[in-house]
Structure 1
Amino acid sequence: MQGMTKAEVDKAERNEVALGDGPKRPRDAATLILLDRKGNDFHVLMGRRHAAHAFMPGKFVFPGGRTDPADSRVPVATGLYPEEEAKLTARAGRTGAIRARAIALSAIRETYEEAGLLIGRKGPLSTGKRDWQGFVEHSVQPSLEAVRFIARAITPPGRVRRFDTRFLAAWRDDVAVALPSGPTNELEELVWLPLAEARKADIPTITRTILDELEKRLSDDPLLRPGGTIPFYRMLHNRFVREVL
């Protein structure tokens, strides 16, 4: 997508998103790429969105959704690595450390809601936040030290919905409790796919771009150490550009 004009991006995504007069200001969102190492290969967890959704209907995506500022007030077993927090807050205007924490926790919450996977450590959790009661019931303290910032992308203008999405990653081993399904029906189908197969699936254009970035990152750093280079995709002067955070 790098270097494409807005018209070219609109054409590439015409079957993925609803075009129209959406919100002018993108909303913060987070998605989690859950990884599982299989020998020399890496698998990613993806789910298919319902065909009735206005945003990316019927596409395979990573669990994720809008960031809720209240997520920042949920207790955690461990916080973000300073290197990851610094990247999450880079070039983000009003976003500070509290917002970075909310973004990371929203990815963990969405992974529970959509996939039934609770990422963290076993231990008692006390919070009155309704969306986190699954963690309370299953005695899981969310943990952020396992979270890695992989990429950022802002939905181009002219969409019904626009998001400033942070693509985060964690390992399957970081799942403390795995339930048969999540409490919502956002995703119709959940599958673990090798990276090569995931790129061939019915996925959004930006997701394929992020998978390419992830494969490069894993090739250079299979352990996904904190503080890696973060590609940032956005529309600038009528072209979709790739910057580095």
Structure 2
Amino acid sequence: MSAGSHSAEDLRPEQPSAKPRLPIRDAATLILLDRSGAEPKFLMGRRHHAVRFMPGKYVFPGGRVEAQDGRVNVAGTYAPHVERRLQTRVARPSITRARAYGLAAIRELAEETGLLIGEADMDGFHVRSDSWTTFADARVFPSLEGLHLVARAITPPGRPRRFDTRFFAADLSLVSATRPDVIHPEAELVELVWVTFGEARALDLPAITSRVLDDLAKRLDDGLERDLPTPFYREGSASERELI
């Protein structure tokens, strides 16, 4: 092509630049189960109306994985199949990263509800960040034993934030200590409720929470402790769901 000539591409009107893609951040959620009665119940919280992500919705306690979560010592580890599935479809899988997901879920449960999961009255838990001082002060050594992977989901495009979330379930009996005064009108979760499956479906739920409820009900029927495929919701998968 000679100097001064133009291709058809050069003559096209300038297109507006696309919006930058939001980063997808690792996150974890913990579904706390009370199976002591005739019908199982689980803990949900109502998000503050002023938060940017899912305002006013009822959700399971959870949040972002922090860098220090992968450096926390644990009193007990996952079942082998849970640890294996947490390293599936991950860019840089490692045991440290897999354990960070569950530890983030435990930490977020404590921060948002005041309920601490782990081994009570144990010394030797040394913290490297302020996020875990609550456990050190309560002498609760966090434990991943008894955490079951129920589902995984990536927030669809177009949302104000995007997360790659692991949904864990654990029994209420694993709670070793309670921190008071966590729920108040200015907290991230302004209300906590213990609900059955029927009661939960009457609440204002995010779409993904409703899907995970279906997964949880099936897992409870099939056996929560069993090594079973995990539903994974993500953009581009068949019917928006696949098993890993």
Place the TM-score, normalised by the shorter chain, in its bin.
0.7 to 0.9
Residue in 2 aligned with 1:185?
A: 187
Alignment of 1:83-162 (within 5 A): 83-122=81-120, 123-124=122-123, 125-162=125-162
Unaligned runs of 5+ in 1: 1-19
The whole-number CA distance in structure 1 between the counterparts of 2:117 and 2:63 is 16
Q: 1:65 aligns with which of 47, 59, 63?
A: 63
Contact 2:27 2:63 in 1 (8 A): yes
Write the letter of the residue equivalent to 2:236.
L
Q: Verify: 1:52 aligned to 2:30, yes or no.
A: no
Superposition deviation, residue 203 in structure 1: 0.9
Superposition deviation, residue 126 in structure 1: 1.8
Superposition deviation, residue 75 in structure 1: 1.3
Residue in 2 aligned with 1:233?
A: 233
The whole-number CA distance in structure 1 between the counterparts of 2:163 and 2:239 is 15
The whole-number CA distance in structure 1 between the counterparts of 2:103 and 2:227 is 18
The whole-number CA distance in structure 1 between the counterparts of 2:25 and 2:132 is 21
The whole-number CA distance in structure 2 between the counterparts of 1:86 and 1:187 is 32
Superposition deviation, residue 182 in structure 1: 3.2
Alignment of 1:75-90 (within 5 A): 75-90=73-88
Which 10-residue stretch deviates more, 198-207 or 101-110?
A: 198-207
Number of aligned positions between the proteins = 223
Contact 1:148 1:226 in 2 (8 A): no
Q: Verify: 1:242 aligned to 2:241, yes or no.
A: yes
Unaligned runs of 5+ in 2: 1-17
SS in 1 for 2:145: coil
Superposition deviation, residue 23 in structure 1: 4.4
Write the letter of the residue equivalent to 1:108.
I
Superposition deviation, residue 226 in structure 1: 4.7
Superposition deviation, residue 92 in structure 1: 1.3
Superposition deviation, residue 165 in structure 1: 0.6
Q: 1:25 aligns with which of 23, 40, 50?
A: 23
Contact 2:233 2:240 in 1 (8 A): yes
- Quickly say closer, same or farther: Cα 1:119–1:22, change in 2 above 3 A: farther
Larger Rg: 2
Q: Which digits, 9 at most, give the CA deviation of each residue in 1:84-126, with x for residues without a partner? A: 0111110111232111111110000000000000000111222
Q: Which digits, 9 at most, give the CA deviation of each residue in 1:142-190, with x for residues without a partner? A: 0001111000011111221000010011110000002234389210001
TM-score by length of 1: 0.86
Contact 1:69 1:99 in 2 (8 A): no
Residue in 2 aligned with 1:206?
A: 208
The whole-number CA distance in structure 1 between the counterparts of 2:161 and 2:168 is 20
Identity %: 49
Contact 1:59 1:203 in 2 (8 A): yes
Alignment of 1:211-230 (within 5 A): 211-221=213-223, 224-230=224-230
Q: Which has the higher contact order (CA 8 A, sep 6+)?
A: 1
Which structure dedicates a bigger proportion of its chain to strand? 1
Write the letter of the residue equivalent to 2:92.
R
SS in 2 for 1:34: strand
Cα RMSD (Å) of the superposition?
Answer: 1.8
SS in 1 for 2:141: strand
Residue in 1 aligned with 2:168?
A: 168
Write the letter of the residue equivalent to 1:213.
D
SS in 2 for 1:94: coil
Residue in 1 aligned with 2:12?
A: none
SS in 2 for 1:200: coil
